[in-house]
Amino acid sequence: MHVVVTGGAGFLGTRLCRTLLTNSALSVAGAPEVRIDRLTVLDRTATVPDVLDDSRVAASTADLLDAGSADRHPVDDADVVFHLAAAVSGECELDFDLGMRTNLDGTRALLHRCRASRRTPVVVFASSLAVFGSAAGYPLPPVVTDQTLPVPQTSYGIQKLVCEQLLADYTRKGFLRGRSVRLPTVSVRPGRPNTAASSYLSAIIREPLTGQRAECPVAPDVPAAICSPDRAIGGLLRAATAGPDEWGPPIAVNLPAITVTAAQMVSALGEIAGADVAALVDWHRDEALASIIEGWPSRVRSDRATRLGLQPDENLEAIVRAHIGEMQ
């Protein structure tokens, strides 16, 4: 079996690659497990050494925008494609053309190439709860469910929703087998901060634990929907393994999440790591970032995900302790 992970050198992509290599085999769309013989990491940045050192792994810097015209492309003989490559929310708002080129045009080129391969691969697309928003006449409900109408209010959310619909149509036409997973904010992300609007939901835990100050751009009582890295990976893998009847129509699944406020996160940090660590968080509202965060859903109920066996994290404290464990 050949598996491709776009954005595979990023945080979540690297974690997915490690999990696939450790498991060594994958059940695809309900079929019996098959050994993973090859894993291609498609990313413009360097693949982490421990992944690249595995003899089954090949790194590719192929550009998704070239997928439609290149003589050869990594997805040509792929059985499963996990599509994680994307420009994040904050940079999509700052640079409209970058978001459209990376998120929309890149995804369309990838789907076109998968169609041309005639292998009908399973394509798992990492979408986002940012597809939901509130507009006049279509207010965001207190709890987002499987039946909630997506009304994105950011360029990032619109790009993700358009890609979901493209994937659904390619699936309907029989070109591939698409599964979209709407991820909540994944926390705690290790490494350096990025330009995602939700980056603070990791930074206010991650930075203080290393003795650095962190800024929270929203009010302490602003809620957000989060899941741990492990739950995010579990959702992506379950999308690949679910049989057609289990998955149902090619409509995106909302991944389960827990609802937390920034104040609750800092409080949990203080209880686990001490008041001195929690005191390293500064509160400075950023109107641009806050307006994006406050427009996203903070409470999610996904009956489809539950039927697939997916559950939210136990609690916030478990997420923080898991991150501390990985730091050590």
Q: What pLDDT is attached to residue 245?
A: 96
Dist. CA 158–CA 184, nearest whole Å = 16
pLDDT, residue 72, reads 83
Phi, psi of 232 (to 5 degrees): -65, -45
Candidates 140, 127, 282, 314; CA nearest to 217 is: 282
Pick the closest to residue 324 from 254, 268, 281 (CA basis): 268
CATH class of this structure's domain 2-186+228-255: alpha beta
Predicted local confidence at residue 249, as pLDDT:
93
Domain boundaries along the sequence of the chain: 2-186+228-255
Q: Which tokens belong to 317?
A: 């404290």
Amino acid 328: pLDDT: 78
Find, among 238, 148, 132, 123, the residue nearest to 184 by Cα.
Answer: 132
The sign one gets for the Cα dihedral 167, 4, 43, 190 is: positive
Q: Residues 39, 56: contact at Cβ < 8 Å?
A: yes
Query: What pLDDT is recorded for position 67?
Result: 64
State whether residue 157 is helix, strand or coil.
Answer: helix
**Which pair of tokens denotes residue 16?**
């997915």
Residue 70's pLDDT is what? 66
With tokens 């992509």, the residue in question is 13
Q: How far is CA 96 from CA 46, 92, 139, 154, 156, in A?
A: 26, 5, 25, 10, 9
pLDDT value at residue 216: 96
Instruction: State how far the alpha carbon of 312 is from the alpha carbons of 20, 240, 259, 305, 317, in Å.
Output: 21, 19, 10, 10, 13
CA distance 315 to 282: 24
- Give the count of beta carbons closer than 10 Å to the beta carbon of residue 219: 13
Q: At what angle do helices 316-327 and 200-209 cross, to 10 degrees?
A: 50
Catalytic site positions: 156
What integer pLDDT is reported at residue 157 of this predicted model?
A: 96
The C-alpha atoms of residue 75 and residue 236 are separated, in whole angstroms, by: 18
Residues of the chain with pLDDT under 50: none
pLDDT at 136: 87
Residues 198, 200, 201, CA angle at the centre, nearest 5°? 75
Strands 258-261 and 223-227, bridge-based pairing: antiparallel
